[in-house]
């Protein structure tokens, strides 16, 4: 599994940064990509990757500002002609998303050749997706904006085949039968399967935020605690905490301060304002090295599994 950034910029795109779109690559695990936000020119950005639109089966929109949704109608339309025919798509987002999509398609006389289901989310809603529980967390951004917390199910540990061989049980279909049961019998003796299973493989946790002021409440921090990947905006990079708050956004040093005890494994900073030069970003990146990474377009980050 990996996380791909198709657009890392804030509201105004630059030559180097498109507006926000992310992909969770679950192809090896679940044969699909999960798209989060759809900045303008999304369908063009995908052309520079190996992502197949037909394998995007679920889309999550954090909020309805244009830099997060203006690429959606074009992507939905092009997916219809890029292998998506007949393959259902679910679209999750704030109230008003269905009306906007339906109006856009009606006025433009656009049609799709696959089923599209639009689910308008609510605060603290829980969604079941593949082997994920997805929690919807409300944010503070002037309009409805959400974080989506993807928590993968834990996976049973690997069968310790060396121990089975020591008992004289040779490889074959019986190994699968043993792993599927609580006990098994060999030469008249009953064994507990758990004694032949390795440590549980912990499911990954990915917390992706829409635009927001910083939230330091205990309830919120507990929700994102122990994330394998924490993705958060920092539209402001120059210690402009008050200005960020006034504009319903976040500042990078404030983000690092609030999250210092959250115990995340990786923190990815996104939604970077176009006011900052490459040199500005290089300097800030050096100052936060080891604590967070400032994303660039087409940045890819592996998300490995963990053994308890």
**Residues 175-190: pLDDT tens digits?**
999 998 999 999 999 9
Is residue 11's pLDDT more than 90?
Answer: no
Q: How far is 230 from 175, CA to CA, in rounded Å? A: 38
Contact 270, 295 (CB under 8 A): yes
For the annotated binding site for Zn(2+), the residues are: 63, 65, 67-68, 141, 211, 271
Asked which of 196, 221, 245 is the last residue of a domain, the reply is 196
Q: How far is 213 from 225, CA to CA, in rounded Å? A: 18
Q: Residues 190, 232: one domain?
A: no
Over 223-263, what HEC string results? HHCCCCEEEEECCECCCCHHHHHHCCCCEHHHHHHHCCCCC
Contact 141, 63 (CB under 8 A): yes
Q: Residues 114, 151: one domain?
A: yes
The domain containing residue 10 runs over which residues?
Answer: 2-156+199-307
Quote the number of domains for the chain. Answer: 2
Asked which of 196, 221, 249 is the last residue of a domain, the reply is 196
For the annotated binding site, the residues are: 63, 65, 67-68, 141, 211, 271
Q: Residues 166, 38: one domain?
A: no
Q: Residues 139, 62: one domain?
A: yes
pLDDT tens digits for range 26-51: 999 999 999 999 999 999 999 999 99
Report the Cα 284 to chain-centroid distance in Å: 25
Q: Residues 303, 171: one domain?
A: no
Q: Residues 102, 12: one domain?
A: yes
> In Å, how far are 9, 13, 49, 250 from 139, measured between CA atoms?
19, 23, 31, 12
Whole-number pLDDT of residue 137:
97
Catalytic site residue from 16, 25, 37, 67: 67
Q: Residues 241, 275: one domain?
A: yes
**Greater model confidence, 158 or 101:** 101
Is residue 198's pLDDT more than 80?
Answer: yes
Catalytic residue flag (residue 16): no
85-89, 149-153, 237-241: least confidently modelled range: 237-241
Whole-number pLDDT of residue 109:
96
**Greater model confidence, 308 or 103:** 103
Question: Which helix (H) or strand (E) is 221 found in, with range?
Answer: helix 218-224
pLDDT tens digits for range 103-139: 999 999 999 999 999 999 999 999 999 999 999 999 9
Q: For residues 269-299, b (16+ Cβ closer than 10 Å) or e, as one string?
A: bbbbbeebeeeebeebbeebeeebbbbbbeb
Average pLDDT, the chain: 95
pTM, rounded to two decimals: 0.91
Residue indicated by tokens 């052309």: 47
Q: Residues 139, 238: one domain?
A: yes
Q: Residues 189, 224: one domain?
A: no
Taking phi over 0 as left and psi of -120 to 50 as alpha, with beta for the rest, 123 belongs to beta
pLDDT tens digits for range 289-306: 999 999 999 999 999 987
Q: Residues 180, 143: one domain?
A: no
Q: Residues 20, 131: one domain?
A: yes
Is residue 308's pLDDT more than 70?
Answer: no
């Amino acid at each position: 599994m990996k996380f791909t950034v198709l657009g890392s910029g804030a509201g105004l795109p630059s030559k180097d940064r498109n507006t926000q779109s992310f992909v969770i690559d679950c192809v090896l695990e679940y044969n699909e990509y999960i798209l989060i936000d759809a900045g303008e020119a999304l369908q063009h950005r995908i052309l520079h990757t190996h992502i197949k639109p037909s394998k995007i089966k679920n889309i999550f929109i954090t909020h309805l500002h244009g830099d997060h949704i203006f690429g959606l109608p074009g992507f939905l339309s092009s997916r219809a002609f890029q292998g998506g025919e007949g393959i259902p798509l679910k679209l999750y987002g704030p109230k008003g998303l269905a009306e906007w999509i339906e109006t856009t398609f009606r006025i433009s006389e656009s049609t799709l050749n696959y089923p599209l289901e639009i689910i308008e989310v609510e605060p603290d809603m829980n969604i079941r997706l593949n082997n994920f529980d997805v929690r919807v967390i409300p944010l503070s951004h002037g309009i409805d904006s959400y974080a989506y917390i993807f928590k993968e199910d834990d996976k049973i540990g690997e069968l310790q085949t060396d121990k089975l061989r020591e008992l004289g049980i040779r490889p074959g279909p019986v190994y699968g039968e043993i792993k599927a049961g609580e006990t098994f019998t060999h030469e008249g003796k009953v064994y507990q399967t758990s004694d032949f299973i390795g440590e549980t493989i912990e499911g990954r946790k990915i917390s992706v935020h829409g635009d927001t002021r910083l939230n330091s409440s205990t309830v919120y921090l507990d929700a994102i605690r122990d994330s394998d990947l924490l993705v958060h905006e920092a539209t402001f990079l120059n210690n402009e905490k008050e200005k960020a708050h006034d504009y319903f956004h976040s500042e990078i040093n404030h983000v690092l301060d609030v999250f210092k005890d959250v115990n995340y494994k990786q923190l990815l900073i996104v939604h970077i304002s176009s006011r900052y030069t490459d040199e500005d970003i290089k300097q800030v990146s050096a100052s936060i090295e080891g604590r967070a990474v400032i994303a660039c377009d087409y940045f890819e980050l592996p998300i490995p599994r963990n053994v308890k």
